[in-house]
Amino acid sequence: MGMDVYGKKPKAEEGEYFRNNVWWWRPLWNYCLEVHGDIAGKVKDGHSNSGHGLGSRDATKLGKLLLADIESGFTAGYEQDYRNKIAQLPTEPCTYCGATGIRNDQVGADMGMPGRELETSQAILLGRTHGWCNACDGEGKTLPWQANYPFEIENIKRFAEFLVNCGGFEIC
């Protein structure tokens, strides 16, 4: 699933269309709400593709503010803080293998995971020579779901350039 954002009256090619899959969109829109909630908060539901958006004046203002955030270094600091928070999240037990590191369900059996021979370096780390899980790479633990949502300045910049040139937008 993704967010297709269409410019209402594009002034340039950059303002015609912006797209993010949901993994990229959620951190982007959360940033807009957190940092510029007075404007982004006017969107009825920015986390759904139900056709809501902003008019030209607010879209342009939001885009210029986002570009100013980037220019000032604020967004870089936000990105670093975001990455640090993700890196500090505790791992979780793998639900695919029951935290054993060896996937024994039907999918695992069909793919030969219980009997799979491990690479020497992995066998040393895991303390066994056989058995693997594709979800946790045989470790029995995974990163939390939140770690799947990336945040990067370049994505904010592309969205800001879209906003400045879109003449208002709708999220579809």
- Can you give the pLDDT of all 172 residues of the chain as single tens digits? 799 999 999 999 999 999 999 999 999 999 999 999 999 999 999 999 999 999 999 999 999 999 999 999 999 999 999 999 999 999 999 999 999 999 999 999 999 999 999 999 999 999 999 999 999 999 999 999 999 999 999 999 999 999 999 999 999 9
pLDDT at 168: 98
Pair (76, 126) in one structural domain: no
Pair (115, 82) in one structural domain: no
Pair (33, 82) in one structural domain: yes
Which residues neighbour 18 within 8 Å (Cβ) at sequence distance 6 or greater? Answer: 5, 158, 159, 162, 166, 169
Number of domains in the chain: 2
Distance CA 119, CA 162 (A): 47
Pair (74, 138) in one structural domain: no
Each as own residue / partner, the long-range contacts of residues 33-37 (CB below 8 Å, 24 or more positions apart, any chain) are 35/65, 35/69, 35/74, 35/78, 36/62, 36/65, 36/66
Distance CA 152, CA 20 (A): 12
Structure tokens at 158: 């592309």
Q: What is the dihedral of CA 13, 14, 15, 17, to 10 degrees?
A: 90
User: What are the Cα distances from residue 110, in Å, to 101, 103, 106, 139, 169?
Assistant: 16, 10, 6, 20, 47
Pair (6, 78) in one structural domain: yes
Pair (55, 138) in one structural domain: no
Pair (124, 53) in one structural domain: no
Pair (115, 154) in one structural domain: no
Cβ pair 35, 68 in contact under 8 A = no
Q: Closest Cα to residue 113, out of 89, 137, 92?
A: 137
* Domain housing 79: 2-87+147-171
pLDDT at 13: 97
Pair (83, 112) in one structural domain: no
Pair (78, 22) in one structural domain: yes
Pair (158, 120) in one structural domain: no
Pair (25, 98) in one structural domain: no
